[in-house]
Structure 1
Amino acid sequence: MFNEERRFEQPIRWAMIGGGRGSQIGYIHRASAARDKFFQLVAGAFDINPERCVDFGKNLGVDPERCYSDYKVMFEEEAKREDGIQAVSIATPNKFHYEMCKAALEAGLHVICEKPLCFTVKEAEELKAIAESENRIIGVTYGYTGYEMIHQARNMIENGDLGEIRIINMQFAHGWHSTEVEANDPGTKWRVSPEVSGSTYVLGDVGTHAFYLAEFMVPNLKIKELMCTRQSFIKSRSPLEDNAFVLMHFEGGAVGNLWASAVNAGGIHEQKIRVVGSKASIEWWDEHPNQLKYEVQGEPKRILDRGHGYLYNDDQGVSANRIGCGHAEGLFESWANLYHRFALAMDAMNRGDKDTLDNLWFPGVDAGIEGVRLLENCVESADNGCKWVAYK
């Protein structure tokens, strides 16, 4: 069961860049960070418009003098204060992630960043090097991996319950952008603009979520080669895709596929992962996150429910169980579990506690690097006639 007694003497003084009024993701960052009282929002660069930034920050209870329309000014001014910020979350369009992460790390701050971490593997590896030299943490908000049943799936695979892993099916295929919604929605408009979103749309926006679930559940499987085909069914989105299929060959002989889409008409989320082994299969669906299908060849299908005593009793999974079995947990609990672990990692880094860092799971900079690496390889394949490419 989740340990609510674990506390810091003082919460981490925390700021946000982006996530202001109208943000699709700002509230879940703030609510999740506040959940366990490990973080305290004391400053923010919520909006590039000074009046809107101050007005929004005041409504959140942030001192107006600590609401900045320029994140670089925020770093400079906060560094002068004895009670200045210690960590920052970046909830901005993709094109700003690299420069903001880099500036934050160089300012001595821990960083939590939306995905994709940046545009290129080279940039991501540079951020990792800076983080290591500054003894800072980079966390990446793969927000679905805080669910208890994701950790249950990983434990079952590690324990050999599925046998030898043969097939991994990944998908995140919603239908909310089956029409040109970006014409009246700025939050979608930047996602389909290459200069802001980068070289992909749905692969980076939702495909990386499904891919990280597979990485987490089956950490020892490495991609050997892949082939990607992508489409722009809403023609104005070209060259960015609103639908993509990726085939993967893993080292050791396993295979996988990823379907990422924003034009799956009628689909709500449809983020699912199915891992098939030589003895059994498991399947998880984010619209029913408290259950895990477990199907053993020749036996009746089972539905495993969150919070039960029959689940694996590891620290990561149990500590994700916040309210006991039978009660439905959702995305806010999953995100809160991520922010909880980000805080523990920051605290351990500050104390030089390598043992805790080595044994604490959280989606960190390496997870961010692999997400960017996937996108680079998919674009290379798709833009070269959907050819198989060696994964690099």
Structure 2
Amino acid sequence: MTSTNRIRLGMIGGGQGAFIGGVHRMAARLDDRYELIAGVFSARPDVNRASASELRIDPSRCYDDVSELIAGESGRDDGVQAVAIVTPNHLHFDAAKACLEAGLHVICEKPMTLTADEAETLAGLAQQKQRHLLLTHPYVGYPLVQQARAMVKRGDLGRLRMVNVEYVQEWLAEAPGPDNKQADWRLDPKRAGAAGCLGDIGTHAYQLSAFISGLTLDAVSADLSSMVEGRQLDDNVHAMLRYTSGAKGMLWVSQCAPGFENGLRIRVVGGRASLEWAQESPNELWFAPLNAPRQRITRRDDWLGDDINRGVRIPGGHPEGYIEAFANLYQALADQLNGAPADWLPDANTGVDGLHFISAVLRSNQADGAWATLPPPVGKERTSGDQR
């Protein structure tokens, strides 16, 4: 029996052996706003059924494929209202398109699709059907990331000069074993797309920099490498960034750097001050005014605004982390579905912008680092007026 007060959630992917599906389920449960009631958890029938059983899904609502899920749920008064797509990249587009066409809200892993054309199709469809498409960039759910964005927006840093962002990992520093399911599809161009490390974590770094700075990226000069012998996709990316405002930036993402576990870090530098935040120490934000001591900002109730405090669940000093940040996306989407605004959420247009970024980086790399221009994000003109 499902609760009428919870959003009825379906899931595509995320079966036994998957990582991100479990994260989505924990995030959806944290504020008790969703109930997982149906899904297609694996393309393998035995794993699909076993996964549904573990998750206590009614066997009649464990479907063989996406079309069966849509057909089976659309005829029910208690059918799913939103679907989380947590599959490898190459399956995102068809599943999201089918769900949007059926009038369902979509929660999708990134990158949203394999190509910018596919992303634009989904963005147009979401607008046409008046349905939400949440793209799960969870790092923007951290309260101090939102605080950094607010400080930049109100001018605490002055005119922005530089944005440096890096996301560095070691988990693919060697060729993975044959049973490493997470590495298997990420290193396969047919399933991951043309971008390896760039698509997997580079999109997170880029989106985080855009979210905090508010700047529009004009062009990139990039160098991609496959440093592990025999690897078909990139595992290391260096890129120079030019913004329409005149600000400069650098991006480094790598999955082959020994000693780095999950090193997502950003520095935003303005004329009056700078900010620094690192995901491995997510409950502190460093603010450094010109000619003054650095200040450590934490999740104190008397510092954060009410809109940011909505995503804080426990008192300051008690550590919050990745699951809570991820849950803030689900919480805000639930608010949207109940009529409340949440304009900070990554959406279909964010997905389009991310695919344009990937495309520009790939073009620049193919041209030996020549500058490649990006189209402006949806709703923004290519002017110098985006400076906060």
- TM-score bracket for the superposition, by shorter chain length: over 0.9
1:230–1:244 Cα contact (<8 Å) kept = yes
Matched-pair contact (CA < 8 Å) for 1:341–1:360: no
**Aligned to 1:230, what secondary structure does the other structure show?**
strand
Q: Tell me the equivalent position of 1:34.
A: 29
| Structure 2 counterpart of 1:369, from 349, 352, 358 | 352
The CA deviation at 1:36 is 1.4
Pair 1:383 & 2:363 matched: no
1:318 aligns with 2:312: no
1:168 touches 1:274 (CA, 8 Å); kept in 2?
Answer: yes
Say if 1:171 and 1:270, in contact at 8 Å, map to a contact too. yes
Show the 5 A alignment for 1:126-205. 126-181=121-176, 183-205=178-200
Q: What is the rounded CA distance, in whole Å, between the counterparts of 1:176 and 1:249 in structure 2?
A: 30
CA deviation after TM superposition for structure 1 residue 223, in Å: 1.2
Secondary structure at the counterpart of residue 274 of structure 2: strand
Aligned to 1:73: 68
Between the aligned partners of 1:346 and 1:115, the Cα distance in structure 2 is 21
What residue number does 2:222 align with?
Answer: 228
The answer for the alignment partner of 2:384 in structure 1 is none
The one of 297, 322, 332 aligned to 1:341: 332
CA RMSD of superposed structures (Å): 1.3
Task: Give 1:334's aligned amino acid.
Answer: A
CA displacement 1:176-218 (0-9 Å, x = unmatched): 1100015431210110111110010111101111111111112
Q: Which runs of 5+ in 2 are unaligned?
A: 376-388
For residues 307-364 of structure 1, give each alpha carbon's deviation from its aligned partner in whole angstroms, at most 9, with x where no partner exists: 34133x141x11111112111001111011110011122232xxxxxxx44x542111
Question: Quick check: 1:136–1:346 contact (8 Å CA) kept in 2?
Answer: no
> What are the equivalent positions in structure 2 for 1:89-128 lying under 5 Å apart?
89-128=84-123
Q: Secondary structure at the match of 2:237?
A: strand
* Residue 271, structure 1, aligned to residue 264, structure 2: yes
Q: Say whether residues 1:248 and 2:231 are aligned partners.
A: no
| Residues 186, 196 of structure 2: 8 Å contact kept | yes
> Which of 267, 279, 283 is 1:286 aligned to?
279
Where 1:209 maps in the other structure, the secondary structure is helix
Paired with 1:298 and 1:105, the residues of 2 have a C-alpha distance of: 52
Any conservation in 2 of the 1:124–1:369 contact (CA below 8 Å)? Answer: yes
Q: Contact between 1:90 and 1:111, CA under 8 Å: does it hold in 2? A: yes
Per-residue CA deviations over 1:250-274 (Å, capped at 9, x if unaligned) read: 0121001110100111101110000
1:229 deviates by 0.4
In structure 2, what is the equivalent of residue 296 of structure 1?
A: 289
Whether the 8 Å CA contact 2:225–2:236 is kept in 1: the answer is yes
SS where residue 230 of structure 2 aligns?
helix
CA distance in 2, matches of 1:182, 1:136: 41
Q: Give me the whole-angstrom Cα distance separating, in 1, the residues matched to 2:275 and 2:97.
A: 39
Listed one character per residue, the Cα deviations across residues 102-147 of structure 1 (whole Å, up to 9, x for unaligned) are: 0110111100000000012211111111111111100000011111
Secondary structure of the equivalent of 1:283?
A: strand
CA contact (8 A) 2:197 2:234 kept: yes
Q: Any idea what the Cα deviations from partners look like across 1:278-314, whole Å, max 9, x if unmatched?
A: 1111100000000001111211111111134133x14
- Which one of 38, 44, 65 corresponds to residue 39 of structure 2? 44
Q: Aligned residue for 2:385?
A: none
Partner of residue 262, structure 1: 255
TM-score w.r.t. the length of structure 1 is 0.93
Aligned residues: 373
**For each residue in 1:144-189, what CA deviation from the matched residue of structure 2 results, as whole angstroms up to 9, or x when unmatched?**
1111000110111111111110000011011111000154312101
1:55 maps to 2:46:
no
Partner AA of 1:222 in structure 2 = T
* Shift in alpha-carbon separation, 1:13–1:294, aligned structure 2, 3 A: same
SS at match of 1:27: helix
Q: Percent identity?
A: 36
Letter in 1 for 2:297: L
Contact 1:380 1:389 in 2 (8 A): yes
Q: Give the Cα–Cα distance (whole angstroms) in 2 for the partners of residues 184 and 31 of structure 1.
A: 25
